[in-house]
Structure 1
């Protein structure tokens, strides 16, 4: 076998040079192709395929609303107190218990002693007996005065005797009046004591649920000062919403309102607006601050799901339309004074048509088309809207 001869240094340099020129030629060819493509795109832009994004006009319900936040509150409740001073001897209810009107709630041992009541009764009996005797004396004095009057007419009596009988009759009548006054005064005191005795049995003023209770056995009470419990009718609740000053002027009594609460996702309660407070809520509207007004509406709560203090996301319905032709709200620009604006409609062959359409109700998500667009037609999305919706479409597309 013949021995292999190693290439010399000149041969290696010539081989590397040939490879370098081949790579340079390839780069030049690619660069020329790219430059030609960009030049062709600039000379023939219509030849570049463009994807047109569109949306289909469809029928759906739409509402125009004023949104506000608020809280659920008790509509009808009563704070139960006491009108007597004394000490609680018994408490017959607990928190959460349902009571009927007239049910005994608390018993109080009053400060008024039973001896005082008996003493007043005895004094009343004495005064009535004294009144009976004084009435008899008055009758006798009146008879004496009548007899003296007859005798005086016949000049058969002295003037002093006549005047004495007259003064005796007046004096007896005055004593009767004085005793009657004492009886009336004592009767008033006895009625007050009787009322106090009745008030020692505190009963429910309304039917409802005991939502707060502070009464304890042995607790000392002061008349007209202590609140023992709160009873509320939870079958109907009230929603207190804070509405901004620029929106409250659009609301009116009797309009429909509904709300949702985080405690019950997907469920909503509806009612009618009952009242708009005329003064700003809390400290709003002062020293250049934005004013908010409290708006009230009531909702039925038959299952007692709603509780006081729950957060409410409130919607006041200004207007609504059912099964209206709607498009995304992003397609709506500021319409003219007739409510008209232009939209580009995309036909099946890719042809674009500019339409004048009349816009009706609008909210944050969609807008109603009154005229100029039919159900199922495709409306071209502006580039800004299409680009903003593309990431969402990518997120929603299945992987």
Structure 2
């Protein structure tokens, strides 16, 4: 009897298709046009620029104070009026003597010459008293609307400052408001207690700002910026997009082309600070630059995201 032997068949599982490479998300920054300022930052304090003491040139009693604290005064404006108490009584006596002398002159011709001499003497005395009274009127020697700013700048930055340079500052009392002025002087001697035993030296830098609205007061603290260099409507790139510098002074960047592929470029840089660099050549407005190292050459269709 013949029996049928079973036939065993093993089905092979089809191989799974190769997984396609996933797009790599790249961080990029964008070159854009804008204004650039290269600054030196310093902490400062407001102080009076010019002041003067006003006082009477002769002793006396204050008769009237003509200004109040905080008022704006002009040169030669009257501040207070004082009268010399001894002179008042003396003047009354002299006036009586003057009238008496005139009466005696009309009634006693023999004494005319003597009385005339007394009259001349008293007239001279009255003139002296009038001049003395003028000295009791106190006038302002100056007009004041300018405030001086003193900022301490480290020795590593102070060599970049020059008189006439623009400066601006903010103060906590007026959040969001800026005041502008002009650098007047960099003191050649470091501040006391700095630059000793390996410590960095700090120098006092003075600049002036108008205070027409009397908002600023002596002693206010401020955050100061001295404008070392600036450029208007220039091409800027965030500093983290800049690569290493070559021997020719240019920098490498990894830019994305129209097909979103990475291409190495060389750029020429002008002004720079911690946040931004000025691009003189090698990029155009709108170009995207890779932050960090470029991906492997086999990377397909990278997805770019950034600013």
TM-score (ref. length: structure 2): 0.69
Larger Rg: 1
The equivalent position to 1:59 in structure 2, one of 14, 33, 53, is: 33
- CA distance in structure 1 between the aligned counterparts of 2:247 and 2:57, rounded to whole angstroms: 67
How many Å apart are 1:116 and its aligned residue? 7.7
**Does residue 246 of the first structure (1) align with residue 149 of the second (2)?**
no
DSSP 3-state at the match of 2:216: coil
> How many correspondences in the alignment?
254
Contact 1:359–1:367 (Cα < 8 Å) also in 2:
yes
Aligned-CA RMSD value: 3.6
Give the equivalent residue in structure 2 for 1:199.
135
Give CA deviations for 1:246-278 in whole Å, capped at 9, x if unaligned: 111111111222222233333322222111112
Contact 1:112–1:193 (Cα < 8 Å) also in 2:
no
- CA distance in structure 2 between the aligned counterparts of 1:286 and 1:196, rounded to whole angstroms: 56
**Does residue 342 of the first structure (1) align with residue 252 of the second (2)?**
yes
Contact 2:244–2:252 (Cα < 8 Å) also in 1:
no
Give the equivalent residue in structure 1 for 2:280.
370
TM-score (ref. length: structure 1): 0.55
Give the equivalent residue in structure 2 for 1:13.
none
Q: Structure 2: give runs of 5+ residues left out of the alignment.
A: 1-15, 98-112, 115-123, 294-304
Give CA deviations for 1:317-347 in whole Å, capped at 9, x if unaligned: 1111122221111233563464311111112
Bigger helix share: 1
Give the equivalent residue in structure 2 for 1:280.
190
DSSP 3-state at the match of 1:373: coil
DSSP 3-state at the match of 2:218: coil
Instruction: Label 1:198 to 1:282 Cα distance change in 2 as closer, same or farther (>3 A).
Output: farther
Instruction: Label 1:278 to 1:354 Cα distance change in 2 as closer, same or farther (>3 A).
Output: same
DSSP 3-state at the match of 2:254: strand
Give the equivalent residue in structure 2 for 1:75.
49
**1:227-306 correspondence runs (5 A):** 233-234=144-145, 236-306=146-216
- CA distance in structure 1 between the aligned counterparts of 2:32 and 2:39, rounded to whole angstroms: 21
How many Å apart are 1:114 and its aligned residue? 6.2
Q: Structure 1: give runs of 5+ residues left out of the alignment.
A: 1-36, 123-128, 131-186, 208-232, 384-392, 395-399
- CA distance in structure 1 between the aligned counterparts of 2:251 and 2:73, rounded to whole angstroms: 62
DSSP 3-state at the match of 1:354: strand
How many Å apart are 1:310 and its aligned residue? 2.6
**Does residue 50 of the first structure (1) align with residue 24 of the second (2)?**
yes
Contact 1:61–1:323 (Cα < 8 Å) also in 2:
yes
